[in-house]
Amino acid sequence: MTAEPLLQVRDLVKYYHAGGLLAARKPPVRAVDGVSFEIGRGETLALVGESGCGKSSVGRTILRLQEPTSGEAVFEGQDVFRLGREPLRALRRRMQIIFQDPYGSLNPRMTVGAAVAEGMQIHRLASGAELERRVAALLEEVGLDPSYARRYPHEFSGGQRQRIGIARALAVEPVFIVCDEPVSALDVSVQAQVLNLLADLQRQRGLSYLFIAHDLAVVRQIAQRIAVMYLGRIVETGPTEALLADPRHPYTQALLSAVPEPDPGAQRRRIVLHGDLPSPSNPPPGCPFHTRCFHPLRNERCRTEVPPLRPITGTLAACHYAEVSAVEAIEAAP
């Protein structure tokens, strides 16, 4: 990036420690283990990986919804992790989140209008008739009838509730939004509508997104860059088209092989990973993926030496043998 990034995350670490009498004897859960990335103004970075890889912990820690173990998150020149209570509260106008569950993220006792207005009231952005006018405008902006402000969340479908959640996030006029799997709980047809809405809002408002997902087909539509996470680490990152066209890390290749192919005549090799995701409280030594890796060149080095994230052809990949595509090597084998 040529311009100064909006957000710079450096060596982010988030460990969860067990409670109770035996807490000292239990190793911490290494949810995020040294993650670094940047997001520019008006850009979307997709953070992709299977459940349990730590991607949601990254988003929530950046916003200080939970405290980091170590690292930095520099947003508009300020290290979010070093801010005191009042400066952090002021900064939260600039950073918001859209939650995964459109059912659980809204208070069932609050009307839609009250939920959307709450942030504006906390930050004293509007009151009285002006507050009502802003709420109505926000609901209309996300594709809902302004009269819905008087209704309650249980009266709406999942897609409508997620639109309410988006309006609530926009209410304090942020420049950066963490989208924590915002479409994974929705039907496929509704997913496309919500993704189109997020893309339109980004163009109109100049928003930046950290878009967290587990589906590469979803992020193709909205992200300019992708970072693939596995066991608390980024294992591959790069521009969306380059990464999807020629993934170099075996894990990325496995994720991509699981994406449904719209052309019934197209042939794609389905890669099935054997074994479960290792425990984040006891990660394997060396390459974190080596216990499930299918690369034909996998050897003792993979089991003992952590591969750095390094440039290959169009992407950065954390694999000792990323120059050789695992899929192509298997297909070329006799």
The tens digit of pLDDT for each residue in 262-275 reads: 666 666 677 878 87
pLDDT for position 157: 92
**Whole-angstrom distance, CA of residue 283 vs CA of residue 294:** 18
Residue 110 has pLDDT above 50, yes or no: yes
**Is the pLDDT assigned to residue 19 strictly greater than 80?**
no
pLDDT class for 21, splitting at 50, 70, 90? Answer: low
The pLDDT value given to residue 334: 53
What confidence score (pLDDT) does residue 257 get?
86
Taking residues 58-65, report their average pLDDT.
Answer: 96
Give me the mean pLDDT over the 40-54 stretch: 94
pLDDT of residue 264: 61
Per-chain mean pLDDT for the chain? 91
Backbone angles phi, psi at 84, to 5 degrees: -80, 180
In terms of DSSP bridges, do strands 95-98 and 78-79 run parallel, antiparallel, or are they unpaired?
unpaired
Residue spans per domain, the chain: 7-94+174-246
- Residues forming beta bridges with residue 79, ordered by sequence position: 74
pLDDT tens-digit readout, 217-243: 889 989 999 999 999 999 999 999 999
Does residue 186 have a pLDDT over 70?
Answer: yes
Q: For the ranges 39-43, 103-107, 160-164, 209-213, which has the lowest average pLDDT?
A: 103-107
pLDDT at 48: 96
Single pTM value for the model: 0.92
Given a cut of 70, whether residue 168 has pLDDT beyond it is yes
Pairwise CA distance, residues 31 & 6, whole Å: 24
> Is the distance from CB of 76 to CB of 94 less than 8 angstroms?
yes
User: Cβ(278)–Cβ(54) under 8 Å?
Assistant: no
Predicted confidence at residue 1, as pLDDT, reads 44
Between CA 216 and CA 245 the distance in angstroms is 12
Share of the chain above pLDDT 90, in %: 76
Place of tokens 């959640």: 165
The domain over range 7-94+174-246 is classified in CATH as 3.40.50.300: yes
Place of tokens 């040294």: 34
| pLDDT tens track for 197-224 | 999 999 999 999 999 998 888 899 899 9
Give the mean model confidence (pLDDT) for residues 183-187: 87
Name the maximum alpha-carbon separation found in the chain: 75
From the list 295, 299, 286, 216, the residue with the least C-alpha distance to 250 is: 295
